[in-house]
Amino acid sequence: MDGQLLKMIEEGLVEKILLESKNPHDPVIVKNIPDGWKCIETGNYAAVFSHATCPGLAVKVIRENTEALKKEAKVYKQLGDHPAYSKCFYHGPNYLVLKKLKGITLYDAIAKGIRIPASVIGDINEALLFARKSGLNPYDVHAKNVMMKDGRGYVVDVSDFYKEGKDEKWDDFVKAYQKIYLKTLYKHPVKIPYKVLNFIRHAYRFYKNLKHKRSQKRKHASNLSAYHRQN
């Protein structure tokens, strides 16, 4: 990376911004954004910025857990060069310099009444399959961190692809897309208020947590029953 560019990123952005979080399930709050920089995306632990002088780049700054950032850089290296993913050009102490992906998230597309074509879902499914074949585990993939542009789909956030376990967010989204969206909002696009989408998001999280707790209780009861039978 060019030394002047890194200096502009570190001294002109990273050292000046403040990332705050009131709830680990909600996006961070960004304060003190320097002139010339624009916050283009926020997540639960990080924010992404762009600068007019380098339109092809995006800088992801993490609030904490720099070890996770190291793992994310390794994920990008493992993915290599794939059209549906970004690319990591540089890994700083608490930031990454990435190839900027252009488009709109599927979450925003639903909110703004913009049709999501099936080709976008197909591209993302193919990209996630590619990640699995590369030895990764696509985790925490949902409508807020996948994007579309000109009918093509992109995966914006791969920060959790190193985690273990099964995450059903994207599978559930695809089911809802096929069973509900294509029959309703795709045929008759309407804007959906963010308040409604946020309510659905929180209700979904509550439902999945409740389902997990019930599953754990059944598992515990089954193990306890098996123990009593053996003794």
Euclidean distance between CA atoms 192 and 170, whole angstroms: 20
Q: What is the pLDDT of residue 72?
A: 95
Fold of 104-181: Transferase(Phosphotransferase); domain 1 (1.10.510)
- pLDDT-derived band of residue 44, with 50, 70 and 90 as boundaries? confident
Euclidean distance between CA atoms 148 and 104, whole angstroms: 6
Domain boundaries, the chain: 3-99, 104-181
Per residue in 111-127, pLDDT (tens digit) is 999 999 999 999 999 99
Mean pLDDT of 43-69: 90
Q: Which of the pair, 22 or 143, is modelled with greater confidence?
A: 143
Q: What is the pLDDT of residue 176?
A: 96
- pLDDT-derived band of residue 136, with 50, 70 and 90 as boundaries? very high
Q: What is the pLDDT of residue 213?
A: 78
Mean pLDDT of 21-49: 90
DSSP 3-state of 170: helix
The average confidence (pLDDT) of the chain is 91
CA neighbours within 13 Å on the CB side: how many for 30?
Answer: 24
- pLDDT-derived band of residue 25, with 50, 70 and 90 as boundaries? confident
CATH class entry, domain 3-99: alpha beta
Per residue in 157-176, pLDDT (tens digit) is 999 999 999 999 999 999 99
